[in-house]
């Protein structure tokens, strides 16, 4: 074991013993995902918890503070049991290993019936506006990082993340000034939506846990104020979850009804702004796939690119935006068939051959 990892595990064990009053008998590393956090499952005579190490104190404070607030209003999030003095390590409730993505990827040994699938997705959709509307009330947004609101500036960051970490990585040509003009027009349009709900920011299938038929929601440390359509887009167009068009429409209508119960008139705002928030979420995700997959060579992110392209083709074929973004729209229509994406598909075929 690397000395740094050894030191982290020793710190995990010390915090566990301090919190529980009993020795930590086993430390099982949890595979890393898209973050730079280190996770491990700790087991002792009486308790089992997840230990987290992360050097970004802003993120840690956001997660811990948001978790305590959500727990206080009975939202199903992990309880935070202990935080060490450095604030780089904390212990949280263990929701198990089964996430929504694993359940949706049904196999012969992992059957999820059509009825159960629909029931599960419907329950998740019912929880979402509770986080966004009830969770917003009394939440300390001074903890939000790196920005308190998903506003014009935040949106531009996401679009440039897409430009530099995906478009340039797959060598797609574009008119720099025309694309920048489109970014400005697009974000100006989206900023007209009311930004006064809690935006989970990463409401996707890997962050929704299912343990003994109970749901648990994790990784909300990037949350901030925003418009609810973004979170709905994150779930319905999650690349690897591969929901059908029929499922997306059913879930959209169910969510639309639930949201209107909380905020009068927001169902009509959802209809107006949803396609735009689907698009900006897809571009943010592609930026992450480019950075983590193409640059950092993380296989799971690389494998997300083909289904993301399939999603993108569906979006550009089925949605119309109020705002004119001709250069960006041209790029998005051409992107799935571009030589850069074809090269990625070939690389993935080589990686997966013989698995």
Q: What is the pLDDT of residues 2-56, one digit of tens each?
A: 788 899 999 999 999 999 999 999 999 998 766 789 999 999 999 999 999 999 9
Q: What is the pLDDT of residue 110?
A: 61
Q: Does residue 109 surpass a pLDDT of 80? A: no
Question: 3-state DSSP call for residue 324?
Answer: coil
Q: Mean pLDDT, to the nearest integer, of 266-290?
A: 96
CATH 3.30.200 residue spans of the chain: 3-93
Contact yes or no for 91/16 (Cβ under 8 A): yes
What architecture (CATH level 2) is domain 100-352?
Alpha-Beta Complex (3.90)
Query: Helix 305-318 crosses helix 339-352 at what angle (to 10 degrees)?
Result: 140
Q: Per residue in 47-69, pLDDT tens?
A: 999 999 999 999 999 999 999 99
Stated as kind and residue range, the H or E segment containing 177 is: helix 176-190
Q: Return phi, psi of residue 53, to 5°.
A: -125, 130
Contact yes or no for 348/303 (Cβ under 8 A): yes
Provide the 10 A C-beta neighbour count for residue 245: 10
For 124-171, the DSSP string reads HHHHHHIIIIITTTT--GGG-SS-SB--HHHHHHHHHHHIIIIITTTT
Q: Per residue in 252-267, pLDDT tens?
A: 999 999 999 988 888 9
Q: Per residue in 159-181, pLDDT tens?
A: 999 999 999 999 999 999 999 99
Pair type for strands 214-217 and 208-211: antiparallel
Alpha-carbon distance 7 to 14, whole Å? 11
What architecture (CATH level 2) is domain 3-93?
2-Layer Sandwich (3.30)
Alpha-carbon distance 160 to 199, whole Å? 20
Query: What's this model's pTM, rounded to 2 decimal places?
Result: 0.94
Nearest of 78, 117, 111 to residue 241 by alpha carbon: 117
Stated as kind and residue range, the H or E segment containing 28 is: strand 26-30
CATH 3.90.1200.10 residue spans of the chain: 100-352
Burial 272-303 (b: 16+ CB within 10 A, else e): ebbbbbbbbbbbbbbbbbbbbbbeeebeebbb
Q: What is the pLDDT of residue 354?
A: 58
């Amino acid at each position: 074991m690397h000395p740094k990892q050894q030191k982290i595990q020793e710190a995990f064990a010390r915090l566990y013993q301090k919190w529980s009053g009993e020795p930590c008998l086993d430390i099982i590393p949890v595979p890393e995902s898209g973050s730079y956090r280190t996770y491990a499952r700790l087991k002792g005579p009486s308790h089992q918890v997840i230990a987290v190490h992360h050097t970004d104190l802003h993120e840690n404070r956001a997660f811990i503070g948001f978790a305590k607030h959500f727990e206080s209003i009975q939202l199903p999030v992990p309880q935070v049991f202990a935080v060490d003095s450095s604030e780089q390590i904390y212990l949280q409730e263990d929701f198990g290993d089964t996430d929504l993505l694993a359940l949706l990827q049904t196999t012969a040994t992992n059957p999820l019936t059509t009825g159960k699938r629909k029931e599960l997705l419907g329950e998740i959709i019912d929880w979402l506006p509770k986080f966004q509307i009830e969770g917003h009330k009394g939440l300390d947004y001074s903890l939000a990082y790196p920005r308190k609101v998903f506003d014009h500036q935040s949106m531009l960051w996401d679009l440039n993340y897409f430009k530099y970490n995906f478009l340039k990585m797959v060598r797609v040509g574009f008119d720099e000034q025309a694309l920048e003009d489109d970014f400005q027009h697009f974000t100006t349009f989206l900023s007209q939506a009311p930004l006064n709900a809690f935006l989970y920011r990463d409401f996707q299938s890997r962050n929704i846990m299912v343990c003994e038929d109970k749901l648990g929601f994790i990784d909300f440390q990037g949350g901030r104020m925003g418009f609810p359509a973004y979170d709905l887009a994150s779930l319905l167009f999650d690349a690897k979850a591969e929901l059908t068009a029929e499922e997306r429409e059913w879930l959209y209508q169910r969510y639309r009804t639930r949201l209107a119960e909380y905020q009068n008139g927001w169902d009509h705002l959802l209809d107006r702004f949803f396609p735009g928030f689907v698009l900006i979420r897809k571009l943010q995700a592609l930026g992450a796939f480019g950075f983590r997959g193409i640059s950092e060579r993380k296989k799971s992110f690389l494998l997300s690119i083909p289904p993301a392209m399939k999603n993108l083709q569906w979006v550009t074929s089925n949605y119309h935006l109020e705002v004119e973004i001709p250069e960006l729209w041209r790029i998005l229509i051409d992107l799935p068939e571009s030589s850069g994406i074809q090269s990625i598909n070939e690389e993935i075929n080589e990686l997966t051959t013989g698995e």
